[in-house]
Structure 1
């Protein structure tokens, strides 16, 4: 996939940028129930931003393509810069609010989230086209579904035309046309998203493989089904592998999927095979969930290397299934 102008290791992320409002609760409330919480916090978030920060911290030249509102723009722009993410293609929209997410986090590390996309839903295809020069020299383009579908389609199409490896993280869950899946070299749904896309209920490794093969039949180049604390299943046209998770005690699972996708992009941007990139995704997701906040637990390159020196990668040894 290399081209004459390709810069190895460059990642472009097209997606959402949020401010996350956290409240800790003893347990997640039932419908109609009010419970007392504690530990209120405001932190940078959004699937696109989380994934970009993950790549930036790992030392990859990373470009964010996104839109902010009239509020919180300086907070979020400074956060990108401090995490080595270029903001050349982050636009400030004075006519709307920044995307926000309200997150309830239980003492067991589970979460419940509602969000208002705000400026995210004003990220337009033309915004992506303005970033054509950097997309063209990227190794990987990574995108999600918290921005308009036509913008996602433009990003994938432009990258595909330029020979850039494309990753579609189909989150939040929704149905997608096969025409969009055909533009993705790798599709990375979790269990819920895989069910929404394929109709296959992912209960175990066998059904994850079934869902992955259905995604390939729908046009995806390959599929990586993430299974939370169990690990991930990698399905290509030739093989299927189960990659076990690194077992840790979770503090906060918010952003675990984003951490996995950042790790996957990190591996692919360095030329690793998909299953090896998925192993790195599992390691980075494990590191993330040991800390509070969608971005705080994302490791810097030095932290990852120190963790790997302890032999942690061996815990993710894949099994052909």
Structure 2
């Protein structure tokens, strides 16, 4: 079968992970164990998730000409990802994330973007031919916002559905939201996007409605194992998630997004695609690490 073609534009990091008993409070030092160096970055995690689930993925990112960058590109090639449009720069470091993972699966993350900040709008224009056969385009906010806007403009011009995972949370231009086919914030991100950070619980519906009014055609507010709140012209309401014994929640959102776009590009209806992605995310939290936690298509299909 022909694989769905997806272009993912975003960050590439190397995650330096320490297992700790709990997340330390400010000023506190905690003794951890099991240090690991794992490939990560929201864009890269989503690209790997989509590729393992069966997509033909082209990944557009920027890395430095250092050991981390070279290893990242090699890893993407091993996953079958098209690396022809990866920008490599000198005089900068590749993206690095320092991650503490607690025994209950919660995490604390600090990121030094490095080369990710050098993926610029002119690079997207130069790489425009990468989008020519794409069935769907996905981006996040770990690269410059003007670069994301350039991606959205190309998607709009070519009439390709554009999915925005607005993470890490920050206000975004209304011009960008108007070009979004589908947006996937978590609860806190939805609050920041709509300037309603103090709204929770029953106000999920209000935040989703605000994002629709701001231009996004379909809104998915992800709520972890509780599920996903869906709002568009045809659907409105909660879709229940899958409980799982979490050991590391680091990339659950990325796994959700990567497998969601694969499912949509593969022709699944929106609720079916969300269910597919929720199963993938539930599997991922039972495993340590970002990209290593991404399940295969067979694992997702067999998950109950």
Alignment of 1:235-314 (within 5 A): 235-307=231-303, 312=304
Which one of the candidate residues 16, 26, 29 is aligned to 1:21? 16
Is 2:105 the counterpart of 1:115? no
Alignment of 1:171-182 (within 5 A): 171-182=167-178
Q: Which has the higher contact order (CA 8 A, sep 6+)?
A: 2
SS of the equivalent of 1:87 reads coil
Which one of the candidate residues 99, 124, 134 is aligned to 2:95? 99
Mapped partners of 1:13, 1:202: distance in 2:
31
SS of the equivalent of 1:299 reads coil
Mapped partners of 1:209, 1:111: distance in 2:
27
In structure 2, the partner of 1:203 is 200
Q: How many residues align?
A: 301
The two structures, once aligned, show a CA RMSD in angstroms of 1.3
Cα distance, 1:101 vs structure 2:
0.4
In structure 2, the partner of 1:50 is 45
Alignment of 1:156-167 (within 5 A): 156-167=152-163
Mapped partners of 1:77, 1:197: distance in 2:
32
Mapped partners of 2:251, 2:113: distance in 1:
17
SS of the equivalent of 1:253 reads coil
Runs of 4+ in 1 over 4 A off after TM superposition: none
Answer yes or no: is the 8 Å Cα contact 1:12–1:135 preserved in 2.
yes
Cα distance, 1:78 vs structure 2:
1.2
Cα distance, 1:178 vs structure 2:
1.0
Mapped partners of 1:34, 1:130: distance in 2:
46
* Structure 1 residues 230-270: Cα deviation after superposition (integer angstroms, max 9, x where no partner): 11111102321311111110110001100110121011101
Report the TM-score when normalising by structure 1: 0.91
SS of the equivalent of 1:88 reads coil
SS of the equivalent of 2:166 reads coil
Mapped partners of 1:180, 1:263: distance in 2:
23
Mapped partners of 2:295, 2:30: distance in 1:
33
Is 2:83 the counterpart of 1:87? yes
Mapped partners of 1:228, 1:199: distance in 2:
21
Answer yes or no: is the 8 Å Cα contact 1:11–1:139 preserved in 2.
yes
In structure 1, the partner of 2:27 is 32
In structure 2, the partner of 1:231 is 227
Which one of the candidate residues 137, 141, 155 is aligned to 2:137? 141
In structure 2, the partner of 1:319 is none
Mapped partners of 2:125, 2:270: distance in 1:
28
Answer yes or no: is the 8 Å Cα contact 2:276–2:300 preserved in 1.
no
Mapped partners of 1:56, 1:130: distance in 2:
24
Answer yes or no: is the 8 Å Cα contact 1:216–1:237 preserved in 2.
no
* Structure 1 residues 180-239: Cα deviation after superposition (integer angstroms, max 9, x where no partner): 1011100110111001011334533x3222111110001111110001121111110232
Q: Which runs of 5+ in 1 are unaligned?
A: 1-6, 313-321
* Structure 1 residues 251-296: Cα deviation after superposition (integer angstroms, max 9, x where no partner): 1000110011012101110122222211111111001111000111
